[in-house]
């Protein structure tokens, strides 16, 4: 094992030398790091979840040329996250002002753009018109700007030009110093608590302090204003709190000014991924078992309602998005959200979002969109998050035969019932069993490793309400064993939904109850086999599910057992 680790470090060192030779800013950073600390740096193209068990680490990985991330452990402190990017030298800060003045003189009505890519190309073209490369200049030096006719000409070396291009594009087109975090697939949340450093929540290494920081309130306020304008919801002193969506789809909450935030303006960004985490990835990570996933598959195939419940950042939306692949590929789906996060692979998908009224315009709330959805004849309605009065409409939808998938803030089935039957939602107690299944999820600390992981704590079938005893009946079909970190199935004969509803829909009688459990195990085998084969890509899992709908689950299981690659794109 030690020899293997040594070989990996040796290979990583060779890789980092090769990569650094292409990027002078990375090469300079590595040399400076080595001189100051003497610690080695390991280069990795991709990070593995196994790395989260390391106590000491120093790793560099790319997030898109020319941005690299150096993340390293610190004794007694949280890890440090350093975005390594091309930067103009401190003595050349005035150069950026000169460049902006020169570019402004070149802009006219013909210089237009629509997409980010067009905007970026336009900036580079303007920059190239006023920059002259002179590699005879010393590193980090530039000649005084001098005019040639009406055109400002600035002489710099190639490395300085690369740094100017990068900083200009990041500031004008993207999110400036936050862009490395947005591009990093391993970042979940970005948090600025006020003046000082920005923090990130890393999927592998947890909470990290970053090298991005705001040194004073004026700098922070200016950045927050630009950020809110980029999101299309400018903050003001009259409206200091804003929830918005960034251009990449990430959700942002901004609190502006020091009147209501003692450390100054702050913001939190919840990252958005266009490609959802697959259900096989969740199985691989231990979030749920293959048998639990197969159970959700059966429920969704036969049109039952499932709510994913838990505390904030427990993984509810991730689990819901992953489970959506189990819905019939021919179904019509309507998703309704405040902030667009739900992604489904289906073709017949209506995606609707709320609208906050501006300057006297009426708002469009979840309640309004849910009512409208009932007239659109969907096979499934997905609500990003149910919080208030819209819950009543969701229950009306379920009563009229429209399955509803949703996330809901509650840490247990009892809390789900309390919230639903109490103010301000006030669902009649006798209606509760219209909701078929409640999945409880949480972020928990695993005793064996000491790491915080997301786990589905229980999968519960809502059986009904006994008015004489004022008691709600539910069946905890799956539960999580914290000691051994395993998901426990209550076994055959305990499922109300499988044996009284799905069995009938499959065309069998109660004496054939074993058949529904055979089907459950067959689907669990398929999912577990995909995990063993390393098939964790969302699209590939979707291909397998589609094939199961086309050819039947048993046939697909046979094809996988024969070694066929049924997850490859089907024609």
The DSSP-derived string for 323-348 is HGGGS-TT--EEEEESS-------SS
Tokens coding 486 = 């395993």
Q: What is the pLDDT of residue 144?
A: 54
Whole-angstrom Cα distance, residue 203 to residue 269?
15
Closest CA to 242 of 253, 232, 231, 251: 253
Q: What is the pLDDT of residue 140?
A: 46
How far, rounded to the nearest angstrom, does the alpha carbon of residue 217 sit from its chain's CA centroid?
A: 30
494 touches 295 (CB < 8 A)? no
Farthest-apart Cα atoms in the chain, separation = 94
156 touches 137 (CB < 8 A)? yes
Main-chain phi, psi angles of 471, to 5 degrees: -130, 140
Using DSSP's 3-state secondary structure scheme, residue 418 falls into: helix
How far, rounded to the nearest angstrom, does the alpha carbon of residue 516 sit from its chain's CA centroid?
A: 34
Query: Exposed, middle or buried, 287 (CB in 10 Å: 0-12/13-18/19+)?
Result: buried
Helix %, strand %, coil % of the chain (to 5) = 40, 25, 35
Query: Residue 396 contacts by C-beta under 8 Å, 6 or more apart in sequence?
Result: 374
Whole-angstrom Cα distance, residue 558 to residue 554?
6
Q: What is the pLDDT of residue 491?
A: 85
Closest CA to 155 of 142, 164, 138, 168: 142
Beta strand pairing status for 452-466 and 437-445?
A: antiparallel
Query: Residue 509 contacts by C-beta under 8 Å, 6 or more apart in sequence?
Result: 503
Whole-angstrom Cα distance, residue 406 to residue 390?
11
Q: What is the pLDDT of residue 5?
A: 46
131 touches 161 (CB < 8 A)? yes
Query: Residue 303 contacts by C-beta under 8 Å, 6 or more apart in sequence?
Result: 379, 380, 403
The radius of gyration computed from the CA coordinates of the chain, to the nearest angstrom, equals 27
Q: Which residues pair with 309 in a beta bridge?
A: 408, 440
Using DSSP's 3-state secondary structure scheme, residue 490 falls into: coil
Handedness of CA 537, 540, 545, 546 (dihedral sign): positive
Q: What is the pLDDT of residue 138?
A: 60
Handedness of CA 139, 144, 146, 152 (dihedral sign): positive
467 touches 430 (CB < 8 A)? yes
Q: Which secondary structure element, helix H or strand E, spans residue 71, and what is its range?
A: strand 68-74
Q: Which residues pair with 155 in a beta bridge?
A: 132
In this structure, the number of other CB atoms found within 10 A of the CB of residue 70 comes to 20
368 touches 408 (CB < 8 A)? no
Name residue, tokens 């089935």: 413
Q: Where are the domains of the chain?
A: 279-507
Whole-angstrom Cα distance, residue 47 to residue 45?
7
Name residue, tokens 């697909």: 556
- What is the rounded (10 degree) CA torsion for 22, 24, 26, 30? 110
Tokens coding 339 = 């902030």
The segments of the chain whose pLDDT lies below 70 read 1-14, 91-93, 137-152, 358-360, 569-571
Is the domain defined by 279-507 classed in CATH 3.40.1710.10?
no
317 touches 341 (CB < 8 A)? yes
> CA of 298: how far to CAs of 437, 487, 502, 547, in Å?
12, 18, 8, 15
Closest CA to 70 of 108, 31, 110: 31
Tokens coding 316 = 């509810």
How would you label 442-451 residue by residue, b for 16+ Cβ within 10 Å and e otherwise? bebeeeeeee
Measured at the alpha carbon of residue 341, what is the angle toward residues 382 and 250, in degrees to the nearest 5?
A: 165
Tell me the HSE value of 120 on the side-chain side, using a 13 A CA sphere.
Answer: 11
Whole-angstrom Cα distance, residue 10 to residue 83?
24
Q: What is the pLDDT of residue 7?
A: 47
Whole-angstrom Cα distance, residue 560 to residue 531?
12
Closest CA to 126 of 60, 86, 173: 173
334 touches 381 (CB < 8 A)? yes
Handedness of CA 135, 139, 143, 148 (dihedral sign): positive
Measured at the alpha carbon of residue 300, what is the angle toward residues 295 and 303, in degrees to the nearest 5?
A: 130
């Amino acid at each position: 094992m030690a020899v293997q680790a040594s070989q990996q470090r040796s290979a990583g060192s060779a890789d980092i030398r090769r990569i650094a030779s292409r990027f002078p800013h990375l090469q300079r950073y590595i040399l400076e790091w080595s001189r100051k600390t003497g610690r080695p740096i390991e280069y990795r193209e991709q990070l593995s979840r196994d790395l989260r068990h390391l106590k000491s680490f120093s790793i560099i990985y790319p997030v898109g040329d020319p941005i690299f991330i150096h993340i390293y452990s610190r004794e007694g402190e949280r890890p440090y996250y350093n975005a390594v990017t091309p930067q103009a030298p401190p003595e050349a800060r005035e150069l950026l002002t000169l460049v902006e003045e020169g570019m402004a003189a070149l802009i006219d009505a013909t210089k237009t753009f629509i997409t980010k890519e067009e905007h970026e190309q336009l900036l580079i073209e303007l920059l190239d018109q006023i920059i002259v490369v002179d590699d005879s200049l010393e590193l980090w030096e530039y000649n005084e700007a001098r005019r040639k006719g009406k055109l400002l000409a600035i002489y710099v070396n190639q490395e300085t030009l690369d740094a100017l291009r990068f900083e200009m594009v990041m500031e004008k087109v993207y999110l400036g110093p936050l862009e490395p975090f947005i591009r990093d697939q391993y970042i979940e949340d970005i948090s600025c608590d006020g003046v000082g450093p920005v923090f990130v929540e890393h999927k592998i290494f947890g909470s990290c302090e970053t090298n991005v920081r705001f040194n004073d309130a004026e700098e922070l306020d200016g950045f927050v204003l630009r950020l809110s304008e980029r999101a299309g919801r400018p903050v003001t002193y009259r409206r200091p709190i804003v929830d918005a969506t960034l251009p990449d789809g990430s959700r942002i909450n901004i609190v502006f000014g020091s009147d209501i935030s003692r450390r100054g303006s702050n913001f939190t960004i919840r990252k958005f991924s266009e490609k959802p985490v697959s259900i096989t990835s969740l199985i691989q990570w231990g979030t749920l078992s293959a048998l639990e996933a197969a159970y959700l598959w059966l429920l969704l195939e036969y049109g039952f309602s499932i709510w994913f419940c838990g505390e904030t950042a427990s993984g509810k939306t991730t689990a819901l998005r992953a489970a959506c692949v189990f819905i019939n590929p021919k179904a019509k789906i309507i998703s309704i959200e405040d902030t667009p996060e739900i992604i489904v692979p289906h073709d017949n998908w209506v995606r609707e979002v709320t609208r906050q009224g501006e300057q006297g315009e009426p708002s469009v709330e979840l309640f309004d969109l849910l009512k409208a959805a009932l007239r659109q004849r969907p096979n499934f309605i997905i609500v990003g998050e149910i919080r208030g009065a819209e819950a009543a409409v969701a229950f009306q939808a379920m009563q009229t035969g429209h399955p509803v998938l949703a996330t809901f803030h509650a840490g247990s089935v009892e809390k789900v019932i309390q919230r639903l039957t109490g103010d301000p939602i006030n669902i009649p107690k006798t209606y509760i069993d219209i909701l078929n299944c409640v999945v409880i999820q949480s972020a928990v600390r695993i005793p064996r490793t000491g790491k915080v992981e997301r786990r589905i704590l229980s999968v519960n079938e809502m059986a009904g309400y006994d008015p004489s005893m004022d008691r709600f009946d539910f069946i905890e079909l799956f539960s999580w064993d914290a000691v051994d970190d395993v998901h426990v199935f209550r076994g055959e004969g305990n499922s109300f939904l499988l044996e009284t509803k799905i069995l009938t829909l499959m065309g069998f009688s109660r004496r054939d109850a074993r058949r529904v459990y055979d089907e459950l195990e067959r689907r669990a085998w398929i999912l577990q086999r995909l995990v063993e084969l390393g098939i964790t890509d969302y699209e590939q899992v979707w291909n397998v599910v589609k094939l199961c709908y086309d050819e039947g689950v048993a046939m697909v299981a046979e094809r996988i057992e024969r070694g066929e690659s049924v997850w490859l794109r089907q024609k």
